[in-house]
């Protein structure tokens, strides 16, 4: 299945706190770390060829892996030295 427009966005502090209070954990399923980033991409869904958007809330580590896999810049890491 073709996917494109991969993106990684950092949540702001309020969002991080909100999801922590809700008990959300990394969407990868094998990971119980709190969520801090939203990763997403577009894909064609169904036989009609509609374009859909998939988004997942994931932890920092998995957002980083997603960024590396798709050649993206990890938000919040630009200034890290």
Select the residue interacting with Zn ion from 8, 11, 62, 67 (CB under 5 A): 62
- In angstroms, rounded to a whole number, what is the distance separating the alpha carbons of residues 70 and 24? 24
Q: Do β-strands 3-10 and 50-58 pair in parallel, antiparallel, or remain unpaired?
A: unpaired
26 binds Zn ion (CB under 5 A): yes
Per the listing, tokens 């990394």 go with 26
Smaller CB distance to Zn ion: residue 44 or 74?
74
37 binds Zn ion (CB under 5 A): no
Which residue stretch of 11-19, 22-30, 38-46, 70-78 sits at the interface with Zn ion (rule: CB under 5 A)?
A: 22-30
* Contacting positions for Zn ion (CB under 5 A): 26, 28, 31, 33, 59, 62
């Amino acid at each position: 299945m073709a996917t494109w427009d991969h993106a990684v966005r950092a949540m702001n502090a309020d969002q991080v706190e909100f999801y922590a209070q809700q008990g959300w954990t990394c969407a990868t399923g094998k990971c119980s770390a709190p969520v801090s980033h939203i990763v997403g991409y577009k894909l064609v869904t169904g036989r009609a060829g509609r374009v859909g958007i998939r988004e997942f809330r994931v932890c920092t580590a998995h957002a980083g892996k997603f960024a590396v896999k798709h050649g993206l810049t990890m938000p919040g890491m630009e200034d890290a030295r």
